[in-house]
Amino acid sequence: MKAMALKCYNILVLIFLLFNVSFYENVVLAQKNGLGASFIFGDSLVDAGNNNYLSTLSKANIPPNGIDFKASGGNPTGRYTNGRTIGDLVGEELGQPNYAVPFLAPNATGKSILYGVNYASGGGGILNATGRIFVNRIGMDIQIDYFTITRKQIDKLLGQSKARDFIMKKSIFSITVGANDFLNNYLLPVLSVGARISQSPDAFVDDMINHFRGQLTRLYKMDARKFVIGNVGPIGCIPYQKTINQLNEDECVDLANKLAIQYNGRLKDMLAELNDNLPGATFVLANVYDLVMELIKNYDKYGFTTSSRACCGNGGQFAGIIPCGPTSSICNDRYKHVFWDPYHPSEAANIIIAKQLLDGDKRYISPVNLRQLRDL
């Protein structure tokens, strides 16, 4: 009897080992065919549902958000748009079979994490004080803490040597952050007056860059090597800013855009410095500012009818005050609006932006585009 039990145990152990070896080989084979693990960090531009699990004022798991998201049958998932985010679209094009799972979701366990994890959070920023108006949000420091947990899980799944190889060679780290540090921190009328009195724009941007450098270096020390970093878009041109500042359709808020441009210049220099100083790393800069500004200025060229009015929202000339929700007015021609809501691009705009990041030239993505980054 004991001999039979021992034999059964040995067979089970053998099956377990064969399954795990086979799974890793299948993952690697899939990667060779163009698939890659995508680890996504940032704010509501790429949040795929983490804020669903927080007690926060910043949520998108209410209709009509997600109305064009086919994977959910048009139901809201926590994405702050009508369909797919830029992170979703890039993952699809690079051959990922599944969207990166939100870290806080119950199914973010086991082998599913080998296709990628999304840590992004609506309201999150580089600085820990950013987004406190929403009560809860996950800033970059905590997002990287969460990746530390994932990193240990991958060690357990693949073994330390294969895990390190997998992170360094087969994974892309995508980071879209910084806008909230201005919109929901430095420029916020109620909470940031003291900050603006005590900090000049130069000092605030310095603070952002120094924090961000430390955050990217932390990821590098956990074996991240392929990075794509989005700069801050033309935040002075979003429907919310145009509405509260009572601007005309073709006007933007000068201060907000100047702050974005100032930060973006420093970010470009910092990424060049990291490319020089961190051996084996490739930091790719996504020029989101110029990409989105091109859509805003020449919207009709891309088939849009407006780049100033939100499709879903309420309040003011551009439906730019109250966020998108069940009581919002919603446009009938969602694919003809650059902006889905007062803050975020529509899926139609995201498709154009993602295409440029994947295959565009150095005006918009440098030193290599995302398809080239994957194949390095």
User: What distance in Å separates the CA atoms of residue 333 and residue 311, rounded to the nearest whole number?
Assistant: 8
Burial 89-117 (b: 16+ CB within 10 A, else e): bbbebbebeebbbbbbbeebeeeebbbbb
- Residue 342 is classified by DSSP as S
Closest CA to 310 of 291, 329, 292: 329
Which residues, listed in sequence order, are joined to residue 226 by a DSSP beta bridge?
A: 172, 282
User: What distance in Å separates the CA atoms of residue 350 and residue 82, rounded to the nearest whole number?
Assistant: 10
Active site residue 308: no
Q: Are 108 and 375 in contact (CB under 8 A)?
A: no
Q: Which amino acid is at 370?
A: L
> Long-range contacts of range 266-271, CB-CB < 8 Å, 24 or more positions apart?
266/205, 266/206, 266/208, 266/209, 267/178, 267/209, 267/212, 267/229, 267/231, 268/231, 270/209, 270/212, 270/213, 271/229
Catalytic residue among 38, 171, 192, 344: 344
Q: Are 96 and 174 in contact (CB under 8 A)?
A: no
Strand intervals (E) in the chain:
37-42, 101-102, 116-118, 171-176, 226-230, 282-286, 312-313, 329-330, 365-366
Catalytic residue among 38, 43, 44, 171: 44
Pairing of strands 226-230, 171-176: parallel
Distances (CA, A) of 176 to 71, 181, 206, 219: 23, 12, 18, 15
How far apart, in Å, do the first and last CA atoms of the chain sit?
55
Closest CA to 210 of 253, 151, 273, 148: 273
Active site residue 337: no
Catalytic residue among 68, 88, 181, 341: 341
Closest CA to 131 of 72, 54, 29: 54
Q: Annotated catalytic sites, by residue?
A: 44, 341, 344
